[in-house]
Amino acid sequence: MGQKEAVGREEEDGSLRRGEGDQLLQTEEEEEEVTQTDQRKPQKKKKKKREVVTTTETRIIKTSSLFRHNPEIPDILRPVVSQLKEQIFTSDSFSDLDLHPHLVATLNKVLNVSTVTSVQKRTIPVLLSGRDAVVRSQTGSGKTLSYAVPLVQSLQAAQQKVKRSDGPLAVVIVPTRELAQQTFQIFTKLVKPFTWIVPGVLMGGEKRKSEKARLRKGINILVSTPGRLVDHIKNTLSVGFSGVRWLVLDEADRTLDMGFEKDVTVIVNRLNSAGSSRQNVLLSATLTHGVTRLADVCLSDPVRIQVSGPASSDLVASGSPVTSDPSAPQSESFVLPEALKQYVVVVPSKLRLVCLAAFILDKCKFAQDNKVIVFISSCEAVEFLHGLFTSVLSGPPANQRPQLSFLRLHGNMKQEERSDVFQQFSVSRCGVLLCTDVAARGLDLFQVTWIIQYTPPTTAAEYVHRVGRTARIGGRGSSLLFLAPSEAAFVNELANHNISLMDLKLQNILSILMLDDTYKGRGKYHSQSSSKALEQETRERATVLQTEFENFVHADHQSVQRAKGALQSFLRAYAAYPSHLKHIFHIQLPPPGPRRQE
């Protein structure tokens, strides 16, 4: 990734070190040459030579390090694919459904929704009838309300009025803490007219003692991550499941991907042993073999609801088995929002960092009201890039432009900090969130306009869930996938899943630096210059920006260690790619050579 060049470039002859007076600082190789010269010449001559170099008015920009000896960028051949489409909205409103008037009013006034989406139109009546269901629909289509609305409707309509002392009547399992918090907030709003129904949330990172106290007081709608609920099942005597009427497994595919299958089995067995009859719902954007196996274990005679493609109006009746594509995951087709524009850029490794920085500057400094999420493979890389960009790119505003805002989100952060970041980014109008895949599932972050996949996803399904953070509920959005030249074949892999991407050129992204004189080169370019001069000036500015990054890294030992840790974690992430993609995603180490002495 970009850390390779930020840690060091042994092969370079020289680079611009920008400081007071625009002095030209020498690289290690140049310093060695000066030392050797000093051994043969008097000290006076050495001093005179350094004065001539450092006081020169013409800044020397050498671009060989970034732009020489890069692999050739292949042409992207875009296979012709027919993307599956899903109609998001219908002409129906919630008032047309058999719902309590107060619940409809809450949806309209508190949640600001009046028109049902396609998945809600097909799912809510099925769940109101008491049936089990497997629901598959594209990310960002409104699946949460498709089960939350009938769940609240059934509890408020119970013949015996629900009491807090009844304990859990509905259990909702979600894979991540952020999604648990978001789902809990939705239920909190939905039950406003029905104050006797109490929602609650359990998730890792919170104090177990305070959660036990809330359980003893009574929680009717229990939202939890799998691991935390299993912890309470084993250690908290105050958890009783005899009254559970609903079990909801939201984002089931992500739950399995994160290794929670055993925890889900423990939860289901505990509910079964309680002896209560219940309604079960499983929701997912993809139907993998693992999801269908989970459906067979947890659901009884389910209705399969699939809102995509030509069969979008069909409900699979009871008795029909829940099946996945027999060749999944290789050939499964995915449904993506129709208003989502998808791009790919092929970038040599040495240019990845400046390319990402230029793109962020374009969307967040020279444009207004853009919210960008950047997906990165590891917590260490997120921390490194957050510190780097905050220091180098967030400097004082140029021409009265607002300062860039960078946030970070990953699994190694404390829960309180994660919640604060999630809330801050949700309510902001612009900014950049650097994150791992902890933010890739289910989260409804308000008006995200761009998704950048700086590290390629390990599967097509992961690609779908990442880009699903934008263009939600019929909105518009765009995504950009970074690939190395050796990884360009991943475009064909996505095409096998009916996903089509448009090509963005590296030069066009880097040319954004022409708008920012902070990274000005020798200054010889003007608007009437040739395209060659423009290209050279762009390269010089990219080199200046790269040098800024290197200066930050080499400023202290701690920064160097963070950069090394980020690079190591980036390389380790390649081990996570499945076997059928190893020919695309593999580590190409440079040939051995002389190592820099530290």
Q: Under 8 Å CB-to-CB from 173, ≥6 apart: which residues? A: 224, 225, 226, 229, 247, 248, 249, 250, 255, 264, 267
Q: How far is CA 364 from CA 260, 353, 394, 447, 541, in A?
A: 37, 16, 11, 14, 19
- Amino acid 76: pLDDT: 83
**Residue among 198, 449, 187 at smallest CA distance from 337:** 449
Q: How many CB atoms lie within 10 A of CB 242?
A: 12
On whether the pTM is more than 0.75, the answer is no
Please count the other Cβ atoms lying within 10 Å of the Cβ belonging to residue 392: 16
Task: With beta carbons less than 8 A apart as the criterion, state whether 464 and 334 touch.
Answer: yes
Name the CA radius of gyration of the chain, rounded.
28
The C-alpha atoms of residue 422 and residue 409 are separated, in whole angstroms, by 8
The number of angstroms, rounded, from the C-alpha of 258 to the middle of its chain's C-alpha atoms is 15
Q: How far apart are CA 310 and CA 289, in angstroms?
A: 22
pLDDT digits (tens, 9 = 90+) for 241-251: 999 999 999 99
pLDDT of residue 329: 43
**Half-sphere exposure for 74 (CA within 13 Å, toward CB):** 12
Cα distances (angstroms) measured from residue 411 to each of 381, 418, 550: 12, 8, 27
* Calpha distance 385→566 (Å, rounded): 9
Tens digits of pLDDT across the chain (598 residues): 555 555 444 444 343 333 333 333 333 344 444 344 444 445 544 444 433 333 334 444 554 589 988 999 998 877 777 766 666 667 789 999 999 999 999 999 999 998 999 999 999 999 999 999 999 987 778 899 999 999 999 999 998 999 999 999 999 999 988 899 999 999 999 999 999 999 999 998 788 888 999 999 999 999 999 999 999 999 877 678 999 999 999 999 889 988 899 999 999 999 999 877 899 999 988 888 889 999 998 999 999 998 864 333 344 444 445 554 443 444 567 778 778 999 999 999 999 999 999 999 999 988 888 999 999 999 999 999 999 999 999 865 555 455 789 999 998 998 889 888 988 998 888 999 999 987 666 566 778 999 999 999 998 888 988 998 887 766 789 999 999 999 999 999 999 988 999 999 999 999 999 988 888 876 666 665 678 888 888 999 999 999 999 999 999 999 999 999 999 999 999 988 999 999 999 876 555 544 444 3
48 with 316: CB under 8 angstroms?
no
CATH class assigned to 89-316: alpha beta
DSSP string computed for 166-234: G--SEEEE-SSHHHHHHHHHHHHHHTTT-TT--EEEE-TTS-HHHHHHHHHH--SEEEE-HHHHHHHHH
Cα 561 to Cα 553: distance, rounded to the nearest angstrom: 9
> Which residue has tokens 């789902």?
183
Please state the domain extents for the chain.
Answer: 89-316, 337-518+549-576
Token pair, residue 265, equals 């089995």
Strand order in the sheet with 502-503: 406-409, 431-435, 371-375, 450-453, 477-483, 340-346, 502-503
Looking at residue 330, its pLDDT comes to 45
| Domain 337-518+549-576: assigned CATH number | 3.40.50.300
With CA atoms as reference, report the closest residue to 226 among 277, 200, 262, 199: 262
The type of residue at 340 is L
Element (H, E) at 482: strand 477-483
pLDDT of residue 245: 96
What are the structure tokens assigned to 311, written together? 């069969």
473 and 88 Cβ atoms separated by less than 8 Å: yes
Backbone phi and psi for residue 117, each to the nearest 5 degrees, phi listed first: -85, 170
Cα angle 48, 53, 54; round to 5: 100
Q: What backbone torsions phi and psi does residue 462 show, to the nearest 5 degrees?
A: -65, -35
Supply angle C-alpha 212, 217, 220, rounded to 5.
95
DSSP H or E stretch at residue 434: strand 431-435
Token pair 């050498």 is found at: 62
Distance, CA of 248 to CA of 148 (rounded, Å): 9
Q: What pLDDT was estimated at residue 178? A: 87
